[in-house]
Amino acid sequence: MGCAIGMLSTYTEQDVEAEVATLTPRLPMAELMNGGIIKLQGANGFFNPNSLLDPSWLKGKMTVDEYREAIDYINKCTAHSCIGLSKMFSPSERPMRENIRTQAGTGAVQQINQRFPSIQFTYQLTAQNMQMDLSYSTDPAVQFASRTRGPAGHSSIVVLYIAPQ
Mean pLDDT value across residues 135-158 = 60
Mean pLDDT value across residues 140-148 = 54
Average pLDDT of the chain, as a whole number: 86
Q: CA angle, corner 57, sides to 98 and 39, nearest 5?
A: 25
pLDDT at 151: 46
Tens digit of each residue's pLDDT (9 = 90 or more) over 20-37: 999 899 999 999 999 999
Higher pLDDT among residues 74 and 165, named by residue: 74
Q: What percent of the chain has pLDDT over 90?
A: 65
Residue 1: pLDDT band by 50, 70, 90 thresholds?
very low
Mean pLDDT value across residues 70-91 = 93
- Phi/psi at 49 (5° precision): -70, -15
pLDDT at 108 over 80: yes
Residue 5: pLDDT band by 50, 70, 90 thresholds?
very low
Nearest to 37 by CA among 121, 127, 110, 106: 121
Secondary structure (3-state) at 57:
helix
Query: Which residues have C-beta within 8 Å of that of residue 138, sequence separation ≥ 6?
Result: 18, 19, 22
Cα 26 to chain centroid, rounded: 11
| CA quadruple 16, 132, 71, 54: dihedral sign | positive
Residues 78, 111: Cα–Cα separation, whole Å: 13
Q: CA angle, corner 78, sides to 2 and 134, nearest 5?
A: 50
Q: Structure pTM?
A: 0.85
Neighbours of 148 (CB within 10 A): 6
The DSSP string of 20-34 is: HHHHGGGSPPPEE-G
Domain boundaries, the chain: 2-164
